Amino acid sequence: MGMYASARGWVEIDFSQRSSAEEVIQRHQDGHYSGGWAFPAKPFNGTLYLFYGGDIREGELPWLRAQVTELATLPPTDADGDRARGLFLITDERGNAVMWQIRDGAVEELPAPSLMWLGE
C-alpha cells in the first residue's frame, strides 16, 4: 500500500505570475493529488498566495517538489528582482518532519522536528 506524507504549504508570487503558475500546475496535472492546489478566487492585494494541502503517497513527494521548484524559479516581475517565496511542511507516518523553504529562486529542504506537532 505504501506510506503517506502530509504536505501543506504556500508559495507567494506576484499576481502577474498567476497564469505562469497555473501553467506549472497544469503541466503536472495527475487527476488526483493535483486537487490539493488552491488559488484565491479573485485578487484582493498585491501578493498571490498559492496553497497546497493534502495527504499523498511518499512516492509522490518528488512530483510535488518538482512543481514547487518550478514555481520557485519563476522569473522576477520587477526591477527589485523579487522572487517567489514560501514554506511547505512535510510530515510522515514515521514521525519525521521536513520543511521546504522557497526563496531566492530555489527550494531548500531542512529538518523540522520542532514542527512535528502539526503532524500529530
CATH of the domain at 62: 3.30.70
In the chain, the number of structural domains is 1
- What is residue 78's predicted lDDT score, i.e. its pLDDT? 81
- What is residue 1's predicted lDDT score, i.e. its pLDDT? 59
| Domain residue limits at 75 | 4-119
Long-range contacts of 50-53 (CB under 8 A, 24+ apart): 50/10, 50/11, 50/12, 50/13, 50/21, 50/86, 51/8, 51/9, 51/10, 52/7, 52/8, 52/9, 52/10, 52/88, 53/7, 53/8, 53/9
Task: Tell me the per-residue pLDDT of 26-80, one tens digit each, with 9 for 90 and over.
Answer: 999 998 999 999 998 887 777 899 999 999 999 999 999 999 999 999 999 888 8
Global pTM value: 0.91
Task: Tell me the per-residue pLDDT of 71-112, one tens digit each, with 9 for 90 and over.
Answer: 999 999 888 888 999 999 999 988 899 999 999 999 999 988
Q: Is residue 119 pLDDT above 90, yes or no?
A: no
Q: Is residue 120 pLDDT above 70, yes or no?
A: no
Q: Is residue 2 pLDDT above 90, yes or no?
A: no
